[in-house]
Amino acid sequence: MKIGIVGCAGRMGRMLAAAVLETNGAELVGGTETPDSPFIGEDLGILAGAQQLGLEIGLDAVELFSLADAILDFTIPAATVAHAKIAATAGTALVVGTTGLDADDMTSLATAAEKTTIVQAGNMSLGVNLLVCLSEQVARALGPDFDIEVLEMHHKHKIDAPSGTALMLGKAAAEGRGVDHEAVSVLSREGETGARPDGAIGYATLRGGDVIGEHSIIFAGAGERIELTHRATDRGLFASGAVRAALWAGDQPPGLYTMRDVLGLS
């Protein structure tokens, strides 16, 4: 499978490129960056820590989509929405690991997915997606007598909060309970908040240092508490998961999928 990367010069972009190069059945065909990037014209192989490949980092996303069977996108929401439209026109599969997508962004992805295959997930790791499944099951089993809180911590450079993975956990718990996540979620607390509303799904966000990603979902009841936790110690697991998703997407019809589909956990 021919795979391209948008936003290829960032920390995650470089890891994605390295993961493609290390994967049997995958071929790295190019990458793009923003016009102000100092890496335009640099060799993508060198940037990924490998040998020179003769693949210059460029600006033309439309050209890259025309060359690739699948594109990996871990950029920002506005860029991802634009890339989804290009993917729909080109018929190129798109794997989206961008976080901070809002309801309108997801609607745009769903529209593009009517014409091409899109895999979107706030986290591409196997462990996290297992945790998401468990969160739904536990929420369904315990019922409304248990309060649900989601706690996450990331490095100090992360620009969105709560993290996409934290929201995945909270939404899975809401689905398990059969409630509307938007109606019951409490994304932050400050000042005199009053008593905790029954049925709320709360979030707490920590930022600092170089933490790759730590997520816990807590079910707190009378006299007992259940905590499910995932800690990432190697950012490369997100990259390898994204490449796995791209290889899987090549055999799927148009539609909007998640890593749970890729991993057979749906």
* Catalytic annotation, residues: 154, 158
| HSE-up (13 A, CA, CB side) for residue 75 | 23
* DSSP-assigned states of every residue in 249-263: HTTS-SEEE-HHHHT
150 close to 217: Cβ distance less than 8 angstroms = yes
The rounded distance, in Å, linking the Cα atoms of 133 and 250 is 24
CA distance 265 to 114: 22
Q: What is each CA distance from 62 to 47, 108, 215, in whole angstroms?
A: 22, 18, 36
Helix (H) or strand (E) holding 11: helix 11-21
Longest pairwise C-alpha distance within the chain? 62
Separation between Cα atoms, residue 212 and residue 139, nearest integer Å:
26
Instruction: Evaluate whether 94 touches 87 at the Cβ level (below 8 Å).
Output: yes
d(CA 101, CA 64): 23
